[in-house]
C-alpha cells in the first residue's frame, strides 16, 4: 500500500498540478480583485466625505454672527437630507456640540486628529457597525471667533455586506474551478497519455515468438516518436540476437551430433564382438581424432564465450605484421605448391597487440583463403600503414560469394555451402574467432566478394586503447 501511495501515476500528478496551479491563480486573482474593490470603495467614501466637508466648510465660513451660528443646526439638517449613512458632528473648541446626527458616535481619536490635512479613521460602534470618518478645524466668518471642529462619517455596512458576499462567491468559484480544472486536467492527461498506453499495449503483445512486430511510429505524437523508435531498435536487436542464438544452438547440435554419433557407433560396433589388439588400436585412434575435434570445438567455444563477455584482454607487444604473415605463409607453401596457388605478401606495418591472438586471426583468414582458392589460383596479401591504423588485406581468386551470405560469414558455424563443407576439418568457428580477436584489439574485420575475387580486410589500431575491447 505504501508503494502504491508513493508511486502516483502521471495522470494523477498532472491532474493535481492543473488543479493546484488553477486554484493558486484564481486565489491570487481574487485577492487582487478584492484589494482593488476595497480601494475603490475607500476612494468613493473619501470622495463623499471630502465633498461633504467642503460643503460644511463653505456653510460655516459664511457665518458672520453668533445668531447665524445658533441656527447652524437647522441649515445642516436641510443640507444632509437624502444622504443616508452619513453622520456629522460640529463642536466648538471647548467640545460643545453645535450639531450631531442622531445616534452618531465619534471617538475622541477622530476629533483630535482634525487638521488641514484630513485622513480617514475606521472604528466600530457598540452595534458592531464599522464607520469611516474624517475631521477638520473649520474657521467661521465671525471676527475673532475660534475655529469649529467638524467630523463626518459614513457607515460601511453596505460595503462589508458586499465584500462578504463577494468573498463567499469567490471561494465557491475557486472551489468549483479547482474541481472543474482537475477534471479537465484528468481528461487532458488521459488523452495526452493515450499514446503511452498504446506503446505499452503494443510492447505487451510482443513475445519471443513475435519479435518481428514493431510499434507504429507514424501514429505516435512527435514527442514520443523517439521512444517508439528506440523500442523498435531494441526489438530489432533482440530479434537478431534470438535468430543468431537459435541458429547457433541448431548448428552446435549438428556439429556435436556428428562426432558423438561416430564415437557411439564405432564403440558399439567394436563391443559387438571380440576384436584383435590391432583392431582395438585402430578404433581408439579413430576415437582419438573425434575427441580432438570435440576438444578444439569446446576450446573455440570457450574462447568466443570469453570474448562475448569482454574477458579477453590482449597483451601488448610490438608486432611486425609482415614478418608474422610470412612466417605463417611458410607453413602453407607445400599446400600451395600442390594446388599451384601463387602466394604473395607486400607492404608492412607494426602494431601493439597480442602476438598469439593476432597470429591465430591471420592464420584463420589465410587457411580459409587457401582452402577456397581453386587449382592455379592466387592469394595476395597487402599490408598498409595509415596514420594510427594498419590495414591487413588478403585477396584470393575463386567463386564469388553471393551477397546475401557476406553479412553472416563471421557468424558461428555458418557456412556458405553447408552440404559440402560439413565434413571439412573446420568447425565453422574460425572467422567468428577472428572477428572476436579484432574486436578485442579495437579493430574491425570485413569481407567483400565480386567478379571471382574475395577480399578480407583486417583493420587494427597501432596502439590498443584502454577499454577498446569492451
pLDDT digits (tens, 9 = 90+) for 56-80: 888 888 888 888 877 777 777 766 6
Q: What is the 3-state secondary structure (H, E, C) of 282-297?
A: HHHHHHHHHHHHHHHH
Contact partners, residue 440, CB within 8 Å, separation at least 6 = 307, 312, 313, 314, 354, 357, 468, 469
* Kind of pairing between the strands at 342-347 and 378-386: parallel
d(CA 5, CA 88): 65
Q: What confidence score (pLDDT) does residue 384 get?
A: 92
Residue 1 reports pLDDT greater than 70: no
Q: What are phi and psi of 57, to 5 degrees?
A: -60, -40
Q: What confidence score (pLDDT) does residue 210 get?
A: 73
C-alpha cell at 103: 445616534
d(CA 470, CA 460): 15
Averaged over 47-54, what is the pLDDT?
87
Q: What confidence score (pLDDT) does residue 397 get?
A: 93
Q: What confidence score (pLDDT) does residue 419 get?
A: 46
From the number of C-beta atoms within 10 Å of its C-beta (0-12, 13-18, 19+), residue 23 rates as: middle
Residue with cell string 567468428 = 432
CA angle 443, 447, 448 (to 5 degrees): 140
Averaged over 419-425, what is the pLDDT?
44
Helix ranges (DSSP H) in 62-156: 66-70, 72-79, 108-111
Which is higher by pLDDT, 420 or 251? 251
pLDDT digits (tens, 9 = 90+) for 256-265: 777 788 788 8
Mean of all residue pLDDT scores within the chain: 81
5 — pLDDT class (breaks 50, 70, 90): very low
Q: What confidence score (pLDDT) does residue 347 get?
A: 92
Averaged over 451-467, what is the pLDDT?
80
Averaged over 115-124, what is the pLDDT?
72
Residue 470 reports pLDDT greater than 70: no
The predicted model scores a pTM of: 0.50
Share of the chain above pLDDT 70, in %: 90
Which is higher by pLDDT, 95 or 247? 95
Q: What is the DSSP string of 363-389?
A: HHHHHHHHHTS-TT-EEEEEEEEETTE
Q: What are phi and psi of 244, to 5 degrees?
A: -65, -40
Which is higher by pLDDT, 211 or 129? 129
pLDDT digits (tens, 9 = 90+) for 341-398: 999 999 999 998 889 899 999 999 999 999 999 999 999 999 998 878 999 999 999 9
pLDDT digits (tens, 9 = 90+) for 15-48: 888 888 888 888 888 888 888 888 888 888 888 8
7 — pLDDT class (breaks 50, 70, 90): low
Which is higher by pLDDT, 345 or 279? 345
Residue 12 reports pLDDT greater than 90: no
Q: What confidence score (pLDDT) does residue 417 get?
A: 61
Q: How far is CA 112 from the centre of its chain?
A: 70
Residue 110 reports pLDDT greater than 50: yes
Q: What confidence score (pLDDT) does residue 468 get?
A: 43
Do residues 428 and 453 lie in contact, with contact meaning Cβ atoms separated by under 8 Å? no
Averaged over 277-294, what is the pLDDT?
85
pLDDT digits (tens, 9 = 90+) for 136-188: 888 888 888 888 888 988 888 888 888 888 888 888 888 888 888 888 888 88
Q: What confidence score (pLDDT) does residue 117 get?
A: 52
Which of 88, 21, 22 has the alpha carbon at shortest distance from 49? 88
Do residues 230 and 244 lie in contact, with contact meaning Cβ atoms separated by under 8 Å? no
Give the burial string for 254-265 (b: 16+ CB within 10 Å, else e). ebeeebeeebee
Residue 271 reports pLDDT greater than 60: yes
Residue 267 reports pLDDT greater than 90: no
Residue 2 reports pLDDT greater than 50: no
Do residues 107 and 123 lie in contact, with contact meaning Cβ atoms separated by under 8 Å? yes
Q: What confidence score (pLDDT) does residue 455 get?
A: 95
Q: What confidence score (pLDDT) does residue 391 get?
A: 93
Residue 449 reports pLDDT greater than 90: yes
pLDDT digits (tens, 9 = 90+) for 211-250: 777 777 777 777 777 788 888 888 888 887 777 777 767 7
Which is higher by pLDDT, 208 or 345? 345
Which is higher by pLDDT, 417 or 266? 266
CA angle 42, 46, 50 (to 5 degrees): 180
Neighbour tally for 368: CB within 10 Å: 20
Residue 425 reports pLDDT greater than 60: no
Averaged over 314-318, what is the pLDDT?
85
- The helix/strand/coil state of 193 is coil
Amino acid at each position: 500500500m505504501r508503494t502504491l501511495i508513493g508511486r502516483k501515476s502521471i495522470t494523477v500528478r498532472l491532474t493535481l498540478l492543473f488543479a493546484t496551479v488553477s486554484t493558486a491563480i484564481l486565489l491570487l486573482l481574487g485577492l487582487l480583485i478584492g484589494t482593488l474593490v476595497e480601494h475603490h470603495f475607500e476612494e468613493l467614501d473619501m470622495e463623499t466625505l471630502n465633498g461633504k466637508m467642503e460643503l460644511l466648510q463653505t456653510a460655516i465660513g459664511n457665518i458672520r454672527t453668533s445668531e447665524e451660528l445658533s441656527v447652524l443646526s437647522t441649515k445642516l439638517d436641510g443640507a444632509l437630507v437624502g444622504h443616508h449613512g452619513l453622520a456629522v458632528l460640529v463642536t466648538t473648541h471647548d467640545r460643545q456640540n453645535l450639531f450631531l446626527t442622531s445616534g452618531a458616535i465619534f471617538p475622541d481619536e477622530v476629533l483630535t486628529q482634525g487638521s488641514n490635512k484630513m485622513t480617514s479613521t475606521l472604528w466600530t460602534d457598540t452595534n458592531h457597525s464599522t464607520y469611516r470618518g474624517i475631521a477638520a478645524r473649520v474657521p467661521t466668518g465671525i471676527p475673532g471667533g475660534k475655529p469649529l471642529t467638524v467630523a463626518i462619517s459614513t457607515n460601511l455596512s453596505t460595503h462589508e455586506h458586499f465584500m462578504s458576499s463577494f468573498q463567499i462567491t469567490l471561494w465557491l468559484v475557486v472551489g468549483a474551478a479547482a474541481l472543474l480544472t482537475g477534471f479537465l486536467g484528468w481528461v487532458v492527461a488521459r488523452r495526452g497519455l493515450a499514446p503511452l498506453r498504446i506503446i505499452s499495449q503494443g510492447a505487451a503483445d510482443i513475445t519471443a515468438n513475435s519479435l518481428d512486430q514493431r510499434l507504429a511510429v507514424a501514429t505516435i505524437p512527435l514527442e514520443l516518436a523517439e521512444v517508439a523508435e528506440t523500442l523498435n531498435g531494441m526489438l530489432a536487436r533482440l530479434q537478431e540476437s534470438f535468430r543468431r542464438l537459435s541458429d547457433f544452438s541448431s548448428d552446435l547440435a549438428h556439429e556435436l551430433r556428428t562426432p558423438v554419433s561416430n564415437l557411439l557407433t564405432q564403440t558399439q560396433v567394436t563391443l559387438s564382438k571380440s576384436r584383435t589388439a590391432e583392431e582395438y588400436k585402430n578404433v581408439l585412434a579413430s576415437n582419438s581424432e573425434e575427441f580432438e575435434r570435440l576438444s578444439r570445438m569446446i576450446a573455440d567455444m570457450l574462447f568466443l564465450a570469453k570474448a562475448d563477455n569482454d574477458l579477453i584482454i590482449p597483451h601488448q607487444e610490438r608486432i611486425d605484421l609482415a614478418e608474422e604473415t610470412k612466417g605463417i605463409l611458410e607453413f602453407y607453401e607445400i599446400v600451395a605448391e600442390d594446388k599451384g596457388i601463387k602466394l604473395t605478401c607486400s607492404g608492412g606495418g607494426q602494431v601493439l597487440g597480442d602476438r598469439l591472438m593476432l597470429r591465430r586471426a591471420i592464420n584463420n583468414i589465410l587457411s580459409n583463403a587457401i582452402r577456397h582458392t581453386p587449382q592455379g589460383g592466387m592469394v595476395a596479401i597487402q599490408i598498409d600503414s595509415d596514420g594510427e591504423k594498419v590495414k591487413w588485406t588478403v585477396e584470393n581468386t575463386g567463386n564469388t560469394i553471393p551477397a546475401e551470405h557476406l553479412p553472416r560469414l563471421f557468424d558461428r558455424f555458418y557456412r556458405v555451402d553447408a552440404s559440402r563443407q560439413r565434413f571439412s576439418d573446420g568447425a565453422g568457428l574460425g572467422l567468428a574467432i577472428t572477428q572476436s580477436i579484432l574486436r578485442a584489439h579495437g579493430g574491425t574485420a570485413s569481407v567483400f566478394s565480386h567478379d571471382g575475387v574475395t577480399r578480407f580486410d583486417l583493420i587494427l589500431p597501432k596502439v590498443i586503447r584502454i577499454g577498446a575491447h569492451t
